[in-house]
Structure 1
Amino acid sequence: MGIRELRQNASRYLALVKAGETVEVTERGELIALLVPPPRSYSKRDRLIAAGKLIPASGPTERLRSPRPVPTGPGEPTNQELLDAERDERL
């Protein structure tokens, strides 16, 4: 299908892609693009990587740990107490 045909019937061709079909786009008879449905496992993370908004780790991440809680001094509220108080204020 040519570019003009795609432009004039974009909804129809996107419906085909949504249904799982691959649509070839040509320009003067030469294939210039393929419209394909995303893989079933295409997660939000995959979309962010594809958009260049997320750079995946270059090495293993097993050694990464959650940050340790910062100890509070005597009489200072803990993080959990601060969160609980903030939630109570919202209600």
Structure 2
Amino acid sequence: MSTVSVREFSYNPSAIFARVEQGETIEVTRHGNVIALLLPGSGTLGRYSALVARGVLRLKSTTTNDLDRLPHYSVPADVSPVELLLAEREEDDR
């Protein structure tokens, strides 16, 4: 994961977005604090971008390779993903 300042981002946003399109995750900082996280919209990391955007999942030093090791679940539209995970966790406890 790379970090760029707001100033660097403002100089050439197209170049930053091009890096994200290539699969790179970029933190945008202001005064050393992360204010935005730019995530690829497709591929392995794209599966988790909605969770990151909602704050459910936080990426610190996670790389795309780390995300490849996470399980992938196919969830029907009429099933709650949370309920599915809780049911699986309950089965693991038995």
TM-score, normalised to structure 2, is 0.42
Larger relative helix fraction: 2
Q: Which protein shows a greater Rg?
A: 1
TM-score, normalised to structure 1, is 0.43
